[in-house]
Amino acid sequence: MYITITRQTTDSNYAQSVSDFVAYFEKENEGKSLDEIEHFFNQYGEEISGKEVIQEIDGNTAKLKKTEPKFYSITVNPSSYELKRLQNHSDELKQYTRELMKDYAKSFHREIDGRPVNVDDIKYYAKVEHQRVFKGTDKQIIENQPFATKILQLKNDIRKIEAGEFNGKIKSLKQEIARLEKEAPHQHDGQRIVRGMPKPGSQSHVHIIVSRKDMSNKYSLSPGSKYKASETIFNGKPVKRGFDRDKFFKASESTFDSLFQYKRNYAETYKARKTFLKDPKMYFSVLSGLPTNEKAIAFKILAKAGVPIMSIPTNKVQLALKVISKFKKGIDQGMKSGSIGI
């Protein structure tokens, strides 16, 4: 499970309206039949219109300054292994989202009218999506880029020849383009992977728009708080503040596992990522000590994420820091299942 929480900005300033964000989320409905369209939903409502989302989020910003975020975006990205466990992606991801938002509320170290924050205090709207496209930051696009650059140059040369700017054999250049298209390392259905191309396989995920203010529009609830749990004095009274991201992410895993009877491998856990970042030697030691079946699955998960499994250290000599650092970049990217970005 890969979850991100981000403040929404526009040209380095915080977005004053959620309208552009909503329009972006609704793009996937274009060209679909009524039965295929995914609507916004919240804790208790279904088939909520984008217009209502905009009105509710934009109208829930009392006393917030232009320099403060008005809303946050939470993206919930189940792994391919987790998605395989689901029978109906749309319905079950909605079910999971509603339970997840209970965990979100419980992660605030805040009180409203003398009681802990609960899900009924959270104003949010969510939408399930089933497609993703390749972006410039994807490994496939980056590694295909040298070929893309050469192809673009050759196409420019062809246009110049056709315009009479210089001499050349167009047929030969087209043959060279065809060769480069085939030799690009990342292909899908016989085509070079390029930006904007839909990603293969199941890509179901959830986008959540959550208001910075609570349902009453009185209290600020920021998941971006630098505090996990602390107190301050406000108007002469002690006030709790903070958001425990560790608690939230751990709960997101246990909630999914409980709902869908999912047996999570060590390599998929938030605990594993934390261990790797703090103590790589301990991470590899635990990985190597897993039961045979679990270890095989863990290696398979890491291999799919692009980690060079053939080089994973298996003894104390190989656990030297020099060797471990070689894997840090690959594993850090591959273990997205254990991070919250904010």
Please give the average per-residue pLDDT across 245-272, as a whole number: 93
Please give the average per-residue pLDDT across 236-251, as a whole number: 84
Please give the average per-residue pLDDT across 38-55, as a whole number: 95
Taking only the tens place, the pLDDT of each residue in 273-304 is 888 888 888 888 898 899 999 888 888 887 77
Sort 108 into a burial class: Cβ within 10 Å, 0-12 / 13-18 / 19+: buried
Count of domains for the chain: 3
Answer whether 215's CB lies under 8 Å from 122's CB: yes
Mean residue pLDDT across the chain = 85
What is the sign, positive or negative, of the torsion defined by CA atoms of 52, 58, 61, 67?
Answer: positive
What's the pLDDT at 16? 82
CA terminus-to-terminus distance, the chain: 16
Same domain membership, residue 40 and residue 104:
yes
Same domain membership, residue 30 and residue 73:
yes
With 60 as the cut, is the pLDDT of residue 238 above it?
yes
Taking only the tens place, the pLDDT of each residue in 321-332 is 444 554 555 555
With 90 as the cut, is the pLDDT of residue 128 above it?
yes
Same domain membership, residue 236 and residue 113:
yes
What's the pLDDT at 338? 38
Same domain membership, residue 216 and residue 169:
no
Quick one: which of 238, 139, 115 has its CA closest to 193?
139
Residue type, 232: T
Q: Which residue has the tokens 């975020």?
A: 69
For residue 234, what are the CA distances in angstroms to 43, 167, 294?
31, 77, 51
Answer whether 234's CB lies under 8 Å from 240's CB: no
Domain that holds residue 160: 139-192
Measured distance CA(123)–CA(141) in Å, rounded: 37
Residue type, 57: I
What's the pLDDT at 302? 79
Query: Where residue 6 sits, what CATH number does that domain have?
Result: 3.30.930
Answer whether 110's CB lies under 8 Å from 221's CB: yes
Quick one: which of 35, 5, 9 has its CA closest to 221?
5
Same domain membership, residue 300 and residue 232:
no
Same domain membership, residue 328 and residue 232:
no
pTM attached to this predicted model: 0.79
Q: Name which of 154-163, 220-229, 270-279, 281-290 the model is least confident about.
A: 220-229
Same domain membership, residue 280 and residue 159:
no
Residue predicted with more confidence, 104 or 326: 104
What is the sign, positive or negative, of the torsion defined by CA atoms of 254, 258, 260, 262?
Answer: positive
What's the pLDDT at 278? 87
Same domain membership, residue 167 and residue 222:
no
Alpha-carbon dihedral angle through residues 263, 269, 272, 276, given to the nearest 10 degrees: 140
Quick one: which of 2, 198, 192 has its CA closest to 81?
2
What is the sign, positive or negative, of the torsion defined by CA atoms of 320, 306, 302, 4?
Answer: positive
What's the pLDDT at 322? 47
Please give the average per-residue pLDDT across 79-94, as a whole number: 92
With 50 as the cut, is the pLDDT of residue 149 above it?
yes
With 50 as the cut, is the pLDDT of residue 206 above it?
yes
Could you tell me what percentage of the chain is helix, strand and coil, using 3-state DSSP and rounding each to the nearest 5? Answer: 45, 15, 35
Answer whether 20's CB lies under 8 Å from 10's CB: yes
For residue 128, what are the CA distances in angstroms to 131, 192, 205, 270?
10, 28, 6, 23
Same domain membership, residue 122 and residue 174:
no
* pLDDT-based confidence at residue 155 (cuts at 50, 70, 90): very high
Same domain membership, residue 282 and residue 249:
no
Last residue of a domain, one of 192, 214, 236: 192
Last residue of a domain, one of 244, 260, 276: 260
Measured distance CA(71)–CA(18) in Å, rounded: 8
Residue predicted with more confidence, 229 or 16: 16
* pLDDT-based confidence at residue 33 (cuts at 50, 70, 90): confident
Q: Name which of 18-22, 172-176, 264-268, 315-319 the model is least confident about.
A: 315-319
Please give the average per-residue pLDDT across 317-340, as a whole number: 47
Same domain membership, residue 161 and residue 52:
no
Please give the average per-residue pLDDT across 75-88, as a whole number: 92
